[in-house]
Chains A and B, each alone.
Chain A
Amino acid sequence: MTLRHRGFLSATAGMLVLALVASTSAAPSGQPIRVGGTLALTGPLAATSLVHKIAGEIFVEQLNKKNGLLGRPVEWVLLDDQSKPDLARTLYEKLITVDKVDLLIGPYATGAIMSAMAVAQRHDKALFHHTFGIPHLAKYERQFPTWAIGPEPARTFPNLLFDALAASAKPPKTVAIVTSKFPSVHFMSVGAREVAAKRGLREALYLEFEFGNRDFGAIAARVRDANPDFLWMGAIGLEGNGLLEALKKLDYTPKIHFYLYPAPGPLALAPEGKYALSTTVFEEHPPFTASPVAAEYVKLFRERAAKAGMPYQSADTQAGSSYAAWQIMEAAVTATKSLDDKTLAQWLRSNRVDTIIGKVRFDGPNNYGDDLSKIKQVQDGKWVVVWPKEFAAPGARLIVP
């Protein structure tokens, strides 16, 4: 074979490879697959919903840059439920009956997901949702929770937390449980109270306050009086910051302190938030970012969050769960080559799905699988996972001051 022939063959082979590559990553074509959902783009839940919006936009863009779903482009029909579960119900009805979307993705948060679930059930649609907080209320067989907290988080999570504390340098002997009456928070705090009692911790204080409470002065005074070894704050949003700031004004720093569902940015960045503990299923450090998909997502999320003007740009549990919900939807559609809700639901209940938050399954009670929760802590102004040890950030360990 002459050099000329070799050159021709090489060029032909090269073109064939290029053509093959081009065909596998061809731009999706045809009628778009419409995925419908709402988010609380306005109202009290808007701060967290912005995280879900960014996550969804990144995923849909990535999907369309590849081959879409089943070779078709994907269109996200996103409506604003204004943080109102009753409005979410109406909008999901509209998405199904008027917009005729092919697939449903969940709203944020628990109340709105409950509303969407009822509508999905009425129309036999599968619902993929991100962060539902009360597993025992998720009765619909075609709902698929991404936030892997297991079917009994009020038992499993406090045990995980108390295991971590028991393994620390100063295991607590007394506990104060201060909790918001927000439904998805309250039952977890009641569970923590029971688990603490079973594990022999003495209850120094138990308090409940109304969701939306703004004056934490008197509650802080009671916490200071009780002076527990460990403070469990059943907090959602800014309630944790409210209590910590009030404690600081009394010149009191809690010894070991935990916040259930805090606003992660304000708590991590506040000086009083030092060594605060919380729960997570995803943080932006190894081993979570070991996969290229997760690493790329974290990078994109940070860029988009900065562009959106968000002061705190870390991709954490909400961002991780949100992206994972889309991954689950994609996995089911790709594996079954179908958009049929029944087919998707059957496949999901008998298969595990690899996501950036870990491998999730839906074959347990109410389609819940393993509790993938981890314990994270504010260290040097950042959240890092400290427990279980195999998920801890490189070099990080639980610090008990």
Chain B
Amino acid sequence: MPSLTLLGQSLVSGLFIGGLYGLLGLGLGLSWGLLRLINLSHFALVLLGAYLTYQLAGTAGMNPFLTPLLIVPGFFLLGVVLQWAFDFFRVNEFSSLLVTFGITVVIESVIQWVWTADFRRLETPYATLSVRAGPLFLPVTEMVMLLVATALSLLTWAWLRFTWVGKGMRASVEDPDIAAAFGVSPRRLALLLSGVGAAYAGVAGTFVALVYTLAPSQIYGWIGVVFAVVILGGLGNPLGPLVAGIGIGISESLTMAVAEPSWAPLVSFTLLILVLVLRPDRI
């Protein structure tokens, strides 16, 4: 029988990994749900953000938590440019898979060219820093990551729900013609949303650099579970990926604690299959 400490620690671990899933899924879900683009290059942008954090903090000596100040504006512009290109070439939901996969491969090659295929680790005092809460240890970086994921999810939700821009975006998705009649420009809003999604990838990249050792092929490591998170959370719902991510993270972690760790991946995909069977309208 696993001890309460073990269960508690696993719960904490699942909560934090769920924060990462949520952060990774936020931009992807917005793009898929509101722009109808399945943007695989989101994962490549995350890793590019991670390598830039590594470069800025590891080589230039910048505080890693400040690197988003430089990365986010650049990534916002990159997202805008990408969306402009998708519009220009009339990329639709289906072809976006292929196109963005191509962009992913290009970004992976660029990363390998600049930083080589060898592993890179950002050594910072935060990497293994934990605070103690009774018998439990709370890793500081992961805690900040969860807070940032929660804050960004809530802010995005509020932005879409309460601002004119957000309402315009939702209206464009539901009925582009009527939205246009009210003066909404779907194209401009798409550029803005794509920029925001790419900026979120940059933020996620900073935390990936802080928590993990980097390698170019890591791009593909999270695709499966983050797709599950986005679909479970509901496309275009900014709070959904975080909630689903935490749910999956905790389920995986508890499975590792009480049963075989090798069963953990089954959890997320079983949940995904169940949702697809019972609620096919979520896509």
Q: Enumerate chain A interface residues (CB-CB to B < 8 A).
A: 41-44, 46-47, 49-50, 83, 181, 207-210, 212-215, 217-222, 225, 238, 241-242, 245-246, 248-251, 263, 265-266, 269-272, 308-312
**Beta-carbon contact of A217 and B12 below 8 Å:** yes
Question: 17 A-B residue contacts at CB 8 Å?
Answer: A42-B217, A43-B217, A46-B117, A47-B117, A47-B118, A208-B260, A212-B221, A213-B261, A214-B17, A215-B253, A217-B9, A221-B257, A238-B213, A245-B127, A251-B132, A263-B119, A270-B121
B265 at interface, CB cutoff 8 A: yes
**Beta-carbon contact of B10 and A217 below 8 Å:** yes
B139 at interface, CB cutoff 8 A: yes
Distance from A233 Cβ to chain B, minimum over Cβ atoms (Å): 13
**Beta-carbon contact of A310 and B253 below 8 Å:** no
Distance from B79 Cβ to chain A, minimum over Cβ atoms (Å): 25
B262 at interface, CB cutoff 8 A: yes
**Beta-carbon contact of B9 and A49 below 8 Å:** no
**Beta-carbon contact of B261 and A209 below 8 Å:** yes
B155 at interface, CB cutoff 8 A: no
Distance from B13 Cβ to chain A, minimum over Cβ atoms (Å): 3
Choose the segment among B95-103, B108-116, B198-206 that binds chain A (4+ C-beta atoms closer than 8 Å): B108-116
**Beta-carbon contact of B130 and A251 below 8 Å:** yes
B3 at interface, CB cutoff 8 A: yes
**Beta-carbon contact of A222 and B118 below 8 Å:** no
Chain A residue with the shortest CB-CB distance to B225: A214
Measured between beta carbons, the chain B residues less than 8 angstroms from A44 are 215, 217, 220
Interface centre among A215, A242, A266 (most CB of B within 10 A): A215
Given A265-B118, A311-B118, A219 contacting B128 (CB threshold 8 A): no
Distance from A83 Cβ to chain B, minimum over Cβ atoms (Å): 7
Contact with A along B235-269 (1 / 0, CB 8 A): 00000000000000100111011001110110000
Question: Given known contacts A42-B216, A210-B264, A213-B265, what 14 new A-B pairs fall within 8 Å (CB)?
Answer: A44-B215, A50-B117, A207-B260, A209-B264, A215-B264, A217-B12, A218-B252, A221-B13, A241-B213, A242-B212, A245-B127, A309-B115, A311-B120, A312-B118
Chain B residue with the shortest CB-CB distance to A310: B118
Given A215-B252, A249-B139, A208 contacting B262 (CB threshold 8 A): yes
